[in-house]
Amino acid sequence: GQQVMQIPQYQHVQEGEDFTTYCNSSTTLSNIQWYKQRPGGHPVFLIQLVKSGEVKKQKRLTFQFGEAKKNSSLHITATQTTDVGTYFCAGGSNYQLIWGAGTKLIIKP
Amino acid sequence: EADIYQTPRYLVIGTGKKITLECSQTMGHDKMYWYQQDPGMELHLIHYSYGVNSTEKGDLSSESTVSRIRTEHFPLTLESARPSHTSQYLCASSWNNPFSSYEQYFGPGTRLTVT
């Protein structure tokens, strides 16, 4: 069946370092959405990308959608403690959302 | 912040009991979902609904049932709770677009423990 693979599962960074998570789909997606879930919380929508090659920025967060609409990335510049949580991608396909397994961002003490 | 509510927030119950987890949204969304999620892990879709009187099973096999009699209400029922049902249950809603997928708004979740 359709799958969205997300890597890495965990990323440990020092505060101030950058963070990146990647999603790859086995099929072409109509769109890709990104969500953030804080520890103990629920997923919160961050952004949706629709166009091939699209790049969007939200302050220190940069989202990309691949040219073939099969992959996407989220890059955070200069991480802060408020960035801690799990980042999920979700690909739109056949009017459904297919969720990645999430990447947990952990700030080293 | 989205207007989607779940009750109870926390529930500890004994094996064999019947339970209903409540979910309501005031946004008039057509589509509603139930996910099961162990802490910090991936989301598993267990049920969804396109609208009133429409319910479908998701990817994860579940012993639960759902109903959608009103647009705003999407309760989840476990006829006989077991320790394997211990998890967090998240309800979500979205607009239903036949050509695309809209963002989902999540409720705060119900953390269920079956002893």
Over residues A14-54, the pLDDT tens digits come to: 999 999 999 999 999 999 999 999 999 999 999 999 999 99
Q: Chain A residue with minimal CA distance to B39? A: A40
Q: Which of B32, B43, B97 to mutate to test the interface with A (most CBs of A within 10 A)?
A: B43
Cα separation, A28 vs A26, in Å, equals 7
pLDDT digits (tens, 9 = 90+) for B24-38: 999 999 999 999 999
- What Cα–Cα distance (Å) separates residue B19 from each residue in B10, B64, B78? 12, 10, 5
Question: What is the DSSP code (8-state) at residue B41?
Answer: S
pLDDT at site B99: 66
The pair of structure tokens assigned to A80 is: 């802060």
In this structure, chain A runs to a length of 109
Read off the pLDDT band of B1 (50, 70, 90): low
Read off the pLDDT band of B100 (50, 70, 90): low
Q: Which of A95, A96, A104 to mutate to test the interface with B (most CBs of B within 10 A)?
A: A95
- What Cα–Cα distance (Å) separates residue A50 from each residue in A14, A73, A98, B34, B39? 32, 13, 15, 25, 30
Q: Is A7 on the interface with B (CB under 8 A)?
A: no
Contact A43 B90 (CB under 8 A): yes
Contact A6, A100 (CB under 8 A): yes
Q: Which residues of A47-69 are buried (b: 16+ CB within 10 A; e: fewer)?
A: ebbeeeebeeeeeebebbbbeeb
Which among A42, A86, A93 has CB closest to B109?
A42
pLDDT of A2 over the 90 cut: no
Mean local confidence (pLDDT), A59-79: 97
A vs B, Cβ pairs < 8 A, gives 51
Mean local confidence (pLDDT), B42-52: 93
Looking at per-residue pLDDT, the higher value among A11 and A109 belongs to A11
Contact A34, A74 (CB under 8 A): yes
Contact B41 A101 (CB under 8 A): yes
The number of beta carbons lying within 10 Å of the beta carbon of residue B61 is 8
List of chain B residues whose C-beta atoms are within 8 Å of the C-beta of residue A88:
42-43
